[in-house]
């Protein structure tokens, strides 16, 4: 296996090659937002933990599998609570994926509208000179319509190829976090 700069910061399972994200906590409650008093499986994650997981996922290449390992300092192993926490983490990642998908769907609708407007404006800029007696004012208007068609096409291109890369990568990272095995270790 090729050594990577990040290999010195993450534990790597020698058998599977998975990157293990080590998370040290005092109790199960540290996983969740202290302001959220709902039951475990519906609670929001602690903002520091969210940021940490997002940064780690961003650091580790998407081709590598990850494992989340929680080191619990002041807890005893409780399989029921562990399952509830795992369900809560999965719910959180699904929730985030839902909103990323919603944002991407919204952007796709904008792309379709931009392409349609671009095609209409381009059509008018090509068709109108044949129908109208072209004077200098109409030439200027036609140039503006043609330019508008290109601007809308550029906006569609920008949304798909430039701005669309970040949400697609974030979606892949959250999918990886969603499917990552979650393990607990205790100081006993």
pLDDT at 98: 94
Q: Is 57 exposed, middle or buried (0-12, 13-18, 19+ CB in 10 A)?
A: buried
Question: Judging by DSSP bridges, how do beta strands 66-72 and 11-12 pair with one another?
Answer: unpaired
Q: How confident is the model at residue 133 (pLDDT cuts 50, 70, 90)?
A: low
Q: Is the pLDDT of residue 22 over 80?
A: yes
Q: How confident is the model at residue 1 (pLDDT cuts 50, 70, 90)?
A: very low
Q: Is the pLDDT of residue 40 over 60?
A: no
Kindly report, residue by residue over 47-93, the tens digit of the pLDDT. 899 999 999 999 898 999 999 999 988 888 888 988 988 998 999 89
Q: How confident is the model at residue 172 (pLDDT cuts 50, 70, 90)?
A: very high
CA 33, CA 148: separation in Å to the nearest integer?
48
Q: Residue 186, SS3?
A: strand
- Measured in degrees and rounded to the nearest 5, phi and psi for residue 9 equal -100, -20
- Name the percent of the chain lying above pLDDT 90: 39
């Amino acid at each position: 296996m090729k050594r990577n700069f990040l290999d010195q910061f993450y534990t790597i399972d020698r058998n599977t090659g998975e990157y293990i994200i080590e998370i040290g906590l005092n109790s199960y409650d540290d996983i969740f937002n202290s302001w959220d008093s709902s039951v475990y499986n519906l609670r929001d994650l602690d903002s520091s933990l969210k940021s940490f997981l997002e940064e780690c996922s961003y650091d580790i290449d998407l081709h590598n599998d990850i494992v989340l390992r929680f080191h619990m300092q002041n807890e005893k192993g409780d399989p029921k609570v562990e399952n509830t926490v795992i369900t809560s983490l999965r719910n959180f990642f699904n929730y985030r994926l839902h909103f990323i998908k919603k944002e991407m769907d919204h952007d796709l609708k904008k792309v379709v509208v931009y392409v349609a407007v671009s095609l209409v404006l381009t059509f008018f800029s090509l068709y109108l000179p044949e129908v109208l007696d072209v004077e200098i004012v109409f030439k200027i208007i036609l140039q503006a319509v043609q330019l508008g068609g290109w601007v809308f096409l550029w906006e569609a291109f920008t949304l798909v190829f430039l701005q669309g890369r970040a949400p697609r990568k974030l979606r892949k990272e959250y999918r990886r976090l969603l499917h990552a095995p979650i393990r607990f270790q205790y100081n006993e």
